[in-house]
Structure 1
Amino acid sequence: MKKAIFDHKAIPAGIKYCFLLLLLSASVKSFGQTRGKVQVVAPPLFDTLLAKRAALNSGKAGGSPRYSSSYGYRVQIYSGTNRSAAFNAQAKCNKEFPELRTYIVYREPNFKIRAGDFRTRIEAERFKQQLSAYFTSLFIISEKINPPKITTSDD
Protein backbone atom coordinates (compact mmCIF):
# COMPACT_ATOMS: atom_id res chain seq x y z
CA MET A 1 0.00 0.00 0.00
CA LYS A 2 1.19 3.42 -0.91
CA LYS A 3 1.49 6.19 1.56
CA ALA A 4 -0.53 9.35 0.98
CA ILE A 5 1.63 12.15 -0.16
CA PHE A 6 0.93 15.43 1.59
CA ASP A 7 1.07 18.37 -0.76
CA HIS A 8 2.55 21.15 1.30
CA LYS A 9 2.11 23.72 -1.52
CA ALA A 10 -1.68 23.38 -1.69
CA ILE A 11 -2.40 25.14 1.62
CA PRO A 12 -0.46 28.36 0.89
CA ALA A 13 -2.05 28.55 -2.59
CA GLY A 14 -5.53 28.22 -1.05
CA ILE A 15 -4.72 30.97 1.42
CA LYS A 16 -3.55 33.20 -1.43
CA TYR A 17 -6.81 32.69 -3.33
CA CYS A 18 -8.92 33.38 -0.23
CA PHE A 19 -6.92 36.51 0.48
CA LEU A 20 -7.36 37.66 -3.17
CA LEU A 21 -11.14 37.15 -3.00
CA LEU A 22 -11.26 39.06 0.27
CA LEU A 23 -9.41 42.02 -1.29
CA LEU A 24 -11.62 42.05 -4.38
CA SER A 25 -14.85 42.03 -2.39
CA ALA A 26 -13.57 44.81 -0.12
CA SER A 27 -12.57 46.98 -3.08
CA VAL A 28 -15.92 46.50 -4.82
CA LYS A 29 -17.74 47.54 -1.68
CA SER A 30 -15.50 50.56 -1.08
CA PHE A 31 -15.77 51.85 -4.67
CA GLY A 32 -19.52 51.44 -4.92
CA GLN A 33 -21.43 54.55 -5.97
CA THR A 34 -23.81 56.26 -3.67
CA ARG A 35 -26.55 58.68 -4.62
CA GLY A 36 -25.73 62.33 -4.22
CA LYS A 37 -27.44 65.66 -4.62
CA VAL A 38 -26.97 68.01 -7.56
CA GLN A 39 -27.17 71.69 -6.84
CA VAL A 40 -27.78 74.02 -9.78
CA VAL A 41 -26.47 77.53 -9.31
CA ALA A 42 -28.13 79.97 -11.72
CA PRO A 43 -27.62 83.71 -12.06
CA PRO A 44 -30.38 85.81 -10.46
CA LEU A 45 -31.65 87.14 -13.81
CA PHE A 46 -32.03 83.68 -15.31
CA ASP A 47 -35.61 83.22 -14.10
CA THR A 48 -36.65 86.63 -15.42
CA LEU A 49 -35.13 85.85 -18.82
CA LEU A 50 -37.05 82.58 -18.95
CA ALA A 51 -40.27 84.40 -18.09
CA LYS A 52 -39.67 87.01 -20.80
CA ARG A 53 -38.96 84.34 -23.39
CA ALA A 54 -42.14 82.49 -22.48
CA ALA A 55 -44.11 85.74 -22.75
CA LEU A 56 -42.61 86.53 -26.16
CA ASN A 57 -43.40 83.08 -27.46
CA SER A 58 -46.98 83.21 -26.25
CA GLY A 59 -47.55 86.70 -27.69
CA LYS A 60 -48.43 88.32 -24.35
CA ALA A 61 -45.44 90.66 -24.09
CA GLY A 62 -46.84 94.16 -24.26
CA GLY A 63 -49.87 93.02 -26.22
CA SER A 64 -47.84 92.74 -29.42
CA PRO A 65 -48.33 89.77 -31.71
CA ARG A 66 -45.74 87.05 -31.87
CA TYR A 67 -42.86 87.67 -34.27
CA SER A 68 -41.97 84.67 -36.34
CA SER A 69 -40.47 83.89 -39.67
CA SER A 70 -42.17 82.08 -42.51
CA TYR A 71 -41.41 81.13 -46.08
CA GLY A 72 -41.59 83.72 -48.80
CA TYR A 73 -39.51 85.23 -51.58
CA ARG A 74 -36.46 87.43 -52.01
CA VAL A 75 -34.85 88.91 -55.09
CA GLN A 76 -31.20 87.98 -55.57
CA ILE A 77 -29.35 90.96 -57.02
CA TYR A 78 -25.76 89.69 -56.93
CA SER A 79 -23.93 86.39 -56.91
CA GLY A 80 -20.17 86.13 -57.26
CA THR A 81 -16.84 85.56 -55.58
CA ASN A 82 -15.81 89.22 -55.34
CA ARG A 83 -16.51 90.50 -51.84
CA SER A 84 -16.16 94.20 -52.63
CA ALA A 85 -18.51 93.88 -55.62
CA ALA A 86 -21.05 92.23 -53.34
CA PHE A 87 -20.86 95.06 -50.81
CA ASN A 88 -21.08 97.61 -53.63
CA ALA A 89 -24.24 95.94 -54.95
CA GLN A 90 -25.73 95.98 -51.47
CA ALA A 91 -24.87 99.66 -51.00
CA LYS A 92 -26.38 100.51 -54.39
CA CYS A 93 -29.60 98.70 -53.52
CA ASN A 94 -29.77 100.38 -50.10
CA LYS A 95 -29.23 103.76 -51.72
CA GLU A 96 -31.98 103.31 -54.31
CA PHE A 97 -34.43 101.52 -52.00
CA PRO A 98 -33.69 102.56 -48.38
CA GLU A 99 -36.88 101.01 -46.96
CA LEU A 100 -35.91 97.56 -48.22
CA ARG A 101 -33.91 95.06 -46.19
CA THR A 102 -30.91 93.46 -47.85
CA TYR A 103 -29.16 90.28 -46.81
CA ILE A 104 -25.68 88.92 -47.48
CA VAL A 105 -25.40 85.15 -47.80
CA TYR A 106 -21.94 83.61 -48.00
CA ARG A 107 -21.63 80.04 -49.18
CA GLU A 108 -18.05 79.32 -50.05
CA PRO A 109 -16.84 80.68 -52.44
CA ASN A 110 -19.82 82.86 -53.44
CA PHE A 111 -21.34 85.98 -51.94
CA LYS A 112 -25.04 86.44 -52.63
CA ILE A 113 -26.98 89.64 -52.02
CA ARG A 114 -30.72 89.20 -51.58
CA ALA A 115 -33.27 91.94 -51.09
CA GLY A 116 -36.76 92.05 -49.69
CA ASP A 117 -39.14 89.98 -47.63
CA PHE A 118 -42.05 89.24 -49.93
CA ARG A 119 -44.90 86.96 -48.96
CA THR A 120 -46.04 86.24 -52.51
CA ARG A 121 -44.17 85.66 -55.73
CA ILE A 122 -46.21 88.42 -57.42
CA GLU A 123 -44.81 91.03 -55.01
CA ALA A 124 -41.31 89.75 -55.72
CA GLU A 125 -41.90 89.92 -59.49
CA ARG A 126 -43.07 93.54 -59.23
CA PHE A 127 -39.99 94.48 -57.27
CA LYS A 128 -37.79 92.57 -59.71
CA GLN A 129 -39.14 94.78 -62.51
CA GLN A 130 -38.18 97.90 -60.53
CA LEU A 131 -34.69 96.53 -59.88
CA SER A 132 -34.06 95.58 -63.50
CA ALA A 133 -33.06 99.21 -64.24
CA TYR A 134 -30.19 98.96 -61.71
CA PHE A 135 -29.00 95.33 -61.84
CA THR A 136 -28.50 92.92 -64.72
CA SER A 137 -29.03 89.38 -63.46
CA LEU A 138 -31.93 89.06 -61.04
CA PHE A 139 -33.45 85.90 -59.62
CA ILE A 140 -36.37 85.24 -57.31
CA ILE A 141 -35.41 82.93 -54.46
CA SER A 142 -37.84 81.08 -52.20
CA GLU A 143 -36.56 80.96 -48.61
CA LYS A 144 -37.39 81.76 -45.01
CA ILE A 145 -38.17 85.46 -44.65
CA ASN A 146 -38.71 87.93 -41.84
CA PRO A 147 -42.26 89.14 -42.44
CA PRO A 148 -42.89 92.83 -41.83
CA LYS A 149 -44.89 93.76 -38.75
CA ILE A 150 -48.57 94.14 -39.48
CA THR A 151 -50.15 97.24 -38.00
CA THR A 152 -53.85 97.08 -37.39
CA SER A 153 -55.98 100.11 -36.75
CA ASP A 154 -59.26 100.16 -34.85
CA ASP A 155 -61.03 102.50 -37.29
Structure 2
Amino acid sequence: MKTAVFDHKSKPAFIKYCFFFILILASTQTFAQQVRGRVEVIKDPLVDTLIAKRFEMNNAAGVPTAFSSYGYRVQIFSGSNRKDAYSAQARLQDQYPELRTYIIYSEPNFKVRAGDFRTRMEAQKLMQELRSSFSSLFIISEKINPPKTDPDND
Protein backbone atom coordinates (compact mmCIF):
# COMPACT_ATOMS: atom_id res chain seq x y z
CA MET A 1 0.00 0.00 0.00
CA LYS A 2 1.21 3.46 -0.81
CA THR A 3 1.53 6.13 1.74
CA ALA A 4 -0.03 9.39 0.86
CA VAL A 5 1.99 12.59 0.86
CA PHE A 6 0.10 15.27 2.59
CA ASP A 7 0.15 18.82 1.34
CA HIS A 8 1.31 20.33 4.62
CA LYS A 9 4.62 18.32 4.45
CA SER A 10 5.43 19.02 0.81
CA LYS A 11 5.32 22.83 1.04
CA PRO A 12 8.13 23.20 3.64
CA ALA A 13 10.31 20.75 1.65
CA PHE A 14 9.67 22.71 -1.55
CA ILE A 15 10.53 25.98 0.23
CA LYS A 16 13.80 24.46 1.56
CA TYR A 17 14.83 23.35 -1.94
CA CYS A 18 13.99 26.74 -3.42
CA PHE A 19 15.97 28.50 -0.70
CA PHE A 20 18.95 26.18 -1.30
CA PHE A 21 18.76 26.82 -5.06
CA ILE A 22 18.67 30.60 -4.50
CA LEU A 23 21.74 30.42 -2.24
CA ILE A 24 23.69 28.45 -4.85
CA LEU A 25 22.66 30.88 -7.57
CA ALA A 26 23.58 33.92 -5.45
CA SER A 27 27.02 32.53 -4.57
CA THR A 28 27.87 31.92 -8.21
CA GLN A 29 26.86 35.50 -9.00
CA THR A 30 29.19 36.89 -6.35
CA PHE A 31 32.13 34.94 -7.78
CA ALA A 32 31.29 36.23 -11.23
CA GLN A 33 31.65 39.84 -10.01
CA GLN A 34 35.39 39.47 -9.36
CA VAL A 35 36.46 40.91 -12.69
CA ARG A 36 39.82 42.64 -12.75
CA GLY A 37 39.54 46.30 -13.51
CA ARG A 38 41.78 49.03 -14.74
CA VAL A 39 43.39 51.59 -12.45
CA GLU A 40 43.87 55.08 -13.72
CA VAL A 41 46.44 57.23 -11.91
CA ILE A 42 45.79 60.93 -12.07
CA LYS A 43 48.80 63.06 -11.18
CA ASP A 44 50.30 66.38 -11.97
CA PRO A 45 52.83 66.19 -14.85
CA LEU A 46 55.24 68.28 -12.77
CA VAL A 47 55.85 65.20 -10.57
CA ASP A 48 57.54 63.42 -13.48
CA THR A 49 59.53 66.56 -14.23
CA LEU A 50 60.75 66.81 -10.63
CA ILE A 51 61.78 63.14 -10.57
CA ALA A 52 63.72 63.54 -13.82
CA LYS A 53 65.37 66.72 -12.49
CA ARG A 54 66.44 64.92 -9.31
CA PHE A 55 68.07 62.07 -11.26
CA GLU A 56 69.79 64.61 -13.51
CA MET A 57 71.18 66.56 -10.53
CA ASN A 58 72.37 63.39 -8.76
CA ASN A 59 74.14 62.16 -11.89
CA ALA A 60 75.81 65.55 -12.36
CA ALA A 61 77.01 65.54 -8.74
CA GLY A 62 78.35 61.99 -9.06
CA VAL A 63 75.93 60.57 -6.50
CA PRO A 64 74.84 57.06 -7.44
CA THR A 65 71.10 56.72 -7.64
CA ALA A 66 69.26 54.11 -5.60
CA PHE A 67 72.28 52.32 -4.16
CA SER A 68 72.80 51.61 -0.52
CA SER A 69 73.58 48.50 1.42
CA TYR A 70 74.35 47.29 4.89
CA GLY A 71 77.85 47.54 6.23
CA TYR A 72 79.79 48.68 9.28
CA ARG A 73 80.79 51.91 10.97
CA VAL A 74 83.00 52.58 13.97
CA GLN A 75 81.33 54.52 16.78
CA ILE A 76 83.91 56.78 18.43
CA PHE A 77 81.73 58.80 20.79
CA SER A 78 78.45 58.50 22.66
CA GLY A 79 77.32 61.14 25.14
CA SER A 80 74.77 63.80 25.94
CA ASN A 81 77.00 66.84 25.31
CA ARG A 82 76.78 68.23 21.77
CA LYS A 83 80.07 70.13 21.99
CA ASP A 84 81.95 66.99 23.00
CA ALA A 85 80.44 65.14 20.02
CA TYR A 86 81.52 67.85 17.59
CA SER A 87 85.01 68.02 19.11
CA ALA A 88 85.38 64.22 18.78
CA GLN A 89 84.31 64.50 15.15
CA ALA A 90 86.84 67.32 14.56
CA ARG A 91 89.67 65.29 16.16
CA LEU A 92 88.87 62.34 13.90
CA GLN A 93 88.69 64.58 10.82
CA ASP A 94 92.14 65.95 11.65
CA GLN A 95 93.60 62.44 11.76
CA TYR A 96 91.65 61.02 8.80
CA PRO A 97 90.37 63.82 6.50
CA GLU A 98 89.22 61.35 3.80
CA LEU A 99 86.98 59.41 6.21
CA ARG A 100 83.27 60.23 6.32
CA THR A 101 81.86 60.95 9.77
CA TYR A 102 78.26 61.04 10.95
CA ILE A 103 76.66 62.58 14.03
CA ILE A 104 73.46 60.85 15.08
CA TYR A 105 71.16 62.17 17.78
CA SER A 106 69.02 59.59 19.53
CA GLU A 107 67.55 61.20 22.59
CA PRO A 108 69.32 61.98 24.92
CA ASN A 109 72.69 61.00 23.37
CA PHE A 110 74.81 62.18 20.48
CA LYS A 111 76.75 59.47 18.68
CA VAL A 112 79.67 60.01 16.33
CA ARG A 113 80.26 57.25 13.80
CA ALA A 114 82.92 57.01 11.13
CA GLY A 115 83.38 55.15 7.89
CA ASP A 116 81.36 53.20 5.36
CA PHE A 117 82.92 49.76 5.48
CA ARG A 118 81.58 46.78 3.59
CA THR A 119 83.31 44.21 5.78
CA ARG A 120 83.78 43.96 9.51
CA MET A 121 87.52 43.46 9.05
CA GLU A 122 87.90 46.92 7.51
CA ALA A 123 86.08 48.43 10.48
CA GLN A 124 88.25 46.47 12.93
CA LYS A 125 91.37 47.79 11.22
CA LEU A 126 90.22 51.39 11.76
CA MET A 127 89.21 50.57 15.31
CA GLN A 128 92.72 49.29 16.09
CA GLU A 129 94.24 52.48 14.64
CA LEU A 130 91.91 54.69 16.73
CA ARG A 131 92.31 52.74 19.98
CA SER A 132 94.99 55.16 21.29
CA SER A 133 92.96 58.32 20.49
CA PHE A 134 89.45 57.33 21.62
CA SER A 135 88.50 55.39 24.72
CA SER A 136 85.22 53.69 23.85
CA LEU A 137 85.01 52.26 20.34
CA PHE A 138 82.30 50.02 18.95
CA ILE A 139 81.59 48.50 15.56
CA ILE A 140 78.01 49.16 14.48
CA SER A 141 76.20 47.34 11.69
CA GLU A 142 73.86 49.66 9.78
CA LYS A 143 72.93 50.94 6.35
CA ILE A 144 75.93 52.67 4.79
CA ASN A 145 76.47 55.07 1.94
CA PRO A 146 78.38 53.73 -1.05
CA PRO A 147 82.13 54.33 -0.95
CA LYS A 148 83.44 57.17 -3.09
CA THR A 149 84.66 55.99 -6.45
CA ASP A 150 87.62 57.47 -8.27
CA PRO A 151 86.64 58.23 -11.90
CA ASP A 152 90.35 58.39 -12.91
CA ASN A 153 90.97 54.84 -11.73
CA ASP A 154 89.66 52.79 -14.69
- Residue 49 of structure 1 deviates from its aligned partner by 2.3
Give SS of 2:113's match.
Answer: strand
* C-alpha distance 144-132 of structure 1, shift in aligned 2 (>3 A): same
* Distance (whole Å) between structure 1 residues aligned to residue 90 and residue 151 of structure 2: 32
* C-alpha distance 99-154 of structure 1, shift in aligned 2 (>3 A): closer
CA contact (8 A) 1:56 1:66 kept: no
Alignment of 1:41-120 (within 5 A): 46-53=47-54, 66-120=65-119
| C-alpha distance after superposition, 1:39-95 (max 9, x if no partner) | 97665xx443233456799xxx57x76451110000000001111111110110011
- Residue 153 of structure 1 deviates from its aligned partner by 7.0
Give SS of 1:68's match.
Answer: coil
* C-alpha distance 92-51 of structure 1, shift in aligned 2 (>3 A): same
Q: How many percent identity over aligned positions?
A: 59
Partner of 1:142: 141
Give SS of 1:115's match.
Answer: strand
Larger Rg: 1
Report the AA paired with residue 121 of structure 2.
I
* Distance (whole Å) between structure 2 residues aligned to residue 52 and residue 41 of structure 1: 15
Report the AA paired with residue 139 of structure 2.
I
Give SS of 1:133's match.
Answer: coil
TM-score by structure 2 length? 0.60
CA contact (8 A) 1:80 1:112 kept: yes
Point out 4+ residue stretches in structure 1 off by more than 2 angstroms.
Answer: 39-43, 46-57, 64-67, 149-155
Provide the aligned length of Structure 1 versus Structure 2: 111
Gaps of 5+ in 2: 1-41
Could you say which structure has the higher helix fraction? Answer: 2
